């Protein structure tokens, strides 16, 4: 019998978790799974996923307090009759989606992509809604275990990266023109939403030391988010305009990443860090913090880890790699090999599919 899975993804832009869902839908369709997608009205994933789905339902969604969403989703679940529901997003989809699946009598699987802790009592109650919880890193799995979630319920399936998309040569002339770089100017990239937990402020604090030691360097911060104005003001007040650039959201990272000399991720909290997988696939050495799942990507061979919220250590790590280009090159090659081995799309798809098959074969509902 053909497996039928209804997926719920509430992200409106095609990056991060939503891009992982797109990869998963394509891989599942190639393996004979019938996919149905539920997403917000106007979400970018709707068109991107349509070739890999039997149906796409765009529903009104307004966040965690939109109680009507649970009812709307229940009706879609009943109409589509899936074997299981896979909830890919926290915001507006985990609890409300779990309730909707329970009301429709269909087991639910939840993907957990963040490592922020929850009160233990709340976690034990919340995760009773789901037959399985798929964590994208071992660090997230450990957080849930510490909160009392049953180990039988938890499975770690790391996020994936399209290695071929990033494993390409740099178009140096285009890159210099696109970002108004001087000949020979080196670049540090940060690829993250402009939100507090991504730690941009720590790199800005470290920036004067980095730019003094390596004056031929530009820092490019890619992403969008609510901290844009605050970060712009901080850059201006520190006199870093022209040296640190808020480069906005880009949909051509596969062209940009191979040209960066270093990618830095100064996060306070991080579930895994898909942008680091993309950078590693492009052969870029990494500097990040010992936060969440980052040590699962940044190993001794392919990057440098520093304590969270430690600008001095961050500056030292960045300067060390910029001043040792041969070491940086070797780290880039090691990162590319790591991604091919552990974080391929095929591995991610097979990991999720094995959870589905085990769940259906066991006839398990809620544990």
Query: Model confidence over 185-234: pLDDT tens digits?
Result: 999 999 999 999 999 999 999 999 999 999 999 999 999 999 999 999 99
Phi/psi at 44 (5° precision): -65, -30
DSSP state of 152: G
Residue 66 binned pLDDT confidence (cut-offs 50, 70, 90): confident
Separation of alpha carbons 358 and 30, rounded Å:
19
DSSP state of 90: S
Separation of alpha carbons 271 and 269, rounded Å:
7
Whether the pLDDT of residue 97 is over 70: the answer is yes
User: What pLDDT, on the 0 to 100 scale, is given for residue 367?
Assistant: 42
User: What pLDDT, on the 0 to 100 scale, is given for residue 268?
Assistant: 96
* Average pLDDT for 21-26: 97
Separation of alpha carbons 113 and 38, rounded Å:
18
Read off the pLDDT of residues 162-192 as tens digits, 9 standing for 90 and up: 999 998 999 999 999 999 999 999 999 999 9
Give the rounded distance of the alpha carbon of 175 from its chain centre: 25
* Average pLDDT for 87-114: 91
Six-digit token pair at 68? 């009507």
Q: Please count the other Cβ atoms lying within 10 Å of the Cβ belonging to residue 207.
A: 23
Whether the pLDDT of residue 98 is over 60: the answer is yes
Contact 9, 18 (CB under 8 A): yes
User: What pLDDT, on the 0 to 100 scale, is given for residue 63?
Assistant: 73
User: What pLDDT, on the 0 to 100 scale, is given for residue 366?
Assistant: 46
* Residue linked to tokens 């913090």: 289
Q: Cα Rg for the chain, rounded, in angstroms? A: 21
- Write the CA distances from 129 to 103, 126, 194, 295, integer angstroms: 11, 6, 32, 30
Whether the pLDDT of residue 274 is over 90: the answer is no
Same fold, 4-160+344-362 and 163-342: yes
Indicate the range of 103-107, 112-116, 297-301, 321-325 predicted with least confidence.
112-116
Phi/psi at 189 (5° precision): -110, 145
User: What pLDDT, on the 0 to 100 scale, is given for residue 364?
Assistant: 64
Q: Provide the mean pLDDT of the chain.
A: 94
User: What pLDDT, on the 0 to 100 scale, is given for residue 120?
Assistant: 85
Residues 6+ apart with CB under 8 A from 230: none
Q: What is the pTM of this model?
A: 0.85
Taken as a whole, the chain contains a residue count of 367
User: In the CATH hierarchy, which top-level class contains the domain 163-342?
Assistant: alpha beta
Q: Return the closest-CA partner of residue 53 out of 19, 83, 24, 17.
A: 24
Separation of alpha carbons 103 and 27, rounded Å:
29
Domain 4-160+344-362 falls under CATH 3.40.50.2000: yes
Residue 92 binned pLDDT confidence (cut-offs 50, 70, 90): low
Please report, for the chain, the start and end positions of each structural domain, with discontinuous segments joined by +. Answer: 4-160+344-362, 163-342
| DSSP sequence for 188-205 | EEEES-SSGGG-HHHHHH
Q: Is 42 left (phi over 0), alpha (psi -120 to 50) or beta?
A: left
- Write the CA distances from 1 to 25, 34, 360, integer angstroms: 19, 11, 11
DSSP state of 86: E
User: What pLDDT, on the 0 to 100 scale, is given for residue 15?
Assistant: 81
Separation of alpha carbons 175 and 229, rounded Å:
25
Cα distance from N-terminal residue to C-terminal residue, the chain? 25
């Amino acid at each position: 019998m053909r497996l039928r899975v209804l997926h719920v993804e509430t992200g409106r832009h095609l990056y991060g978790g939503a891009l992982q869902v797109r990869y998963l839908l394509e891989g599942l369709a190639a393996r004979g799974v019938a996919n149905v997608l539920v997403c917000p009205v106007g979400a970018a994933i709707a068109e991107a996923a349509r070739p890999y789905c039997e149906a796409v339902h765009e529903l009104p969604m307004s966040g965690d307090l939109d109680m009507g969403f649970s009812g709307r989703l229940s009706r879609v679940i009943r109409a589509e009759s899936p074997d299981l529901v896979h909830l890919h997003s926290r915001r507006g989809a985990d609890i409300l989606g779990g309730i909707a699946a329970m009301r429709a009598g269909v087991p639910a699987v939840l993907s957990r992509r963040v490592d922020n802790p929850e009160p233990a009592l709340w976690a034990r109650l919340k995760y009773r809604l789901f037959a399985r919880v798929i964590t994208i890193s071992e660090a997230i799995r450990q957080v849930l275990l510490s909160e009392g979630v049953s180990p039988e319920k938890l499975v770690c399936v790391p996020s994936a990266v399209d290695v071929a998309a990033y494993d390409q040569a740099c178009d140096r002339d285009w890159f210099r023109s696109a970002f108004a770089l001087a000949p020979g100017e080196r670049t540090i990239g940060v690829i993250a939403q402009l939100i507090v937990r991504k730690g941009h402020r720590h790199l800005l604090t470290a920036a004067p030391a980095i730019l003094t030691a390596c004056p031929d360097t530009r820092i490019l911060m890619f992403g969008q988010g609510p901290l844009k104005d605050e970060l712009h003001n901080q850059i201006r007040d520190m006199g870093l305009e022209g040296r640190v650039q808020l480069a906005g959201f880009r949909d051509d990272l596969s062209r940009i990443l191979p040209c960066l000399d270093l990618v830095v991720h100064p996060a306070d909290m991080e579930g895994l860090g898909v942008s680091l997988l993309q950078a590693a696939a492009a052969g870029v050495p990494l500097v990040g913090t010992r936060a969440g799942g980052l040590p699962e990507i940044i190993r001794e061979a392919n990057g440098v880890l520093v304590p969270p919220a430690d600008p001095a250590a961050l500056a030292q790590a960045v300067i060390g790699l910029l001043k040792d280009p041969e070491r940086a090159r070797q780290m880039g090659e090691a990162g590319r090999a790591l991604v091919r081995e552990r974080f391929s799309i095929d591995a991610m798809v097979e990991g999720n599919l094995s959870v589905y098959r085990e769940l259906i074969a066991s006839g398990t509902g809620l544990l």
